[in-house]
Amino acid sequence: MQKRGKKNPKTKYLYISPIKAGFPSPAEEYLETVLDITSLVIQNPNSTFFGRVKGKSMEEEGIKDQDIIVIDKSIKPQNGNIVVCTIDGVFVIKTLKIKGKK
């Protein structure tokens, strides 16, 4: 078993193991590697948080109701990006469309 990164009491580790669609083999009953999901999806820990999607308006973009999303507020939004913002005090996830030169 391989470990990636330093142990952190707040870090949750996922384990990757082959998953067969047929009959299981006793020889394959081992964990292949340890996966630190935090190090894979978070580039800027101090400005990153998670959110859960409520609603179906972003399904065409591949974001479904109840999906967990990673939000990095240090990234400058650009036209066409999928962004999380607030409208009337409510967080929403939408595709950013910038009109004009503002």
Count how many domains the chain has: 2
Query: 98 and 85, same structural domain?
Result: yes
**Number of Cα atoms under 13 Å in the Cβ half of residue 52:** 2
**8 A C-beta contact, residue 36 and residue 62:** no
Of 56, 94, 97, 101, which one is the catalytic site residue?
A: 94
Q: What are phi and psi of 26, to 5 degrees?
A: -60, -25
Point out which residues pair with 72 in neighbouring strands.
Answer: 48
- The pLDDT of residue 35: 76
Known catalytic residue: 56?
no
Known catalytic residue: 25?
no
What number is the average pLDDT over the span 52-81?
Answer: 94
Query: 49 and 19, same structural domain?
Result: no
Instruction: For residue 54, name the pLDDT band (cuts at 50, 70, 90).
Output: very high
Query: 57 and 23, same structural domain?
Result: no
Of 3, 7, 56, 57, which one is the catalytic site residue?
A: 57
pLDDT value at 2 more than 50: no
Instruction: For residue 3, name the pLDDT band (cuts at 50, 70, 90).
Output: very low
Query: 57 and 101, same structural domain?
Result: yes
How many other β-carbons are positioned within 10 Å of the β-carbon of residue 82? 14
Query: By residue range, what is the domain housing residue 88?
Result: 44-102
Query: What is the rounded CA–CA span in Å between residue 16 and residue 90?
Result: 36
- The pLDDT of residue 9: 54
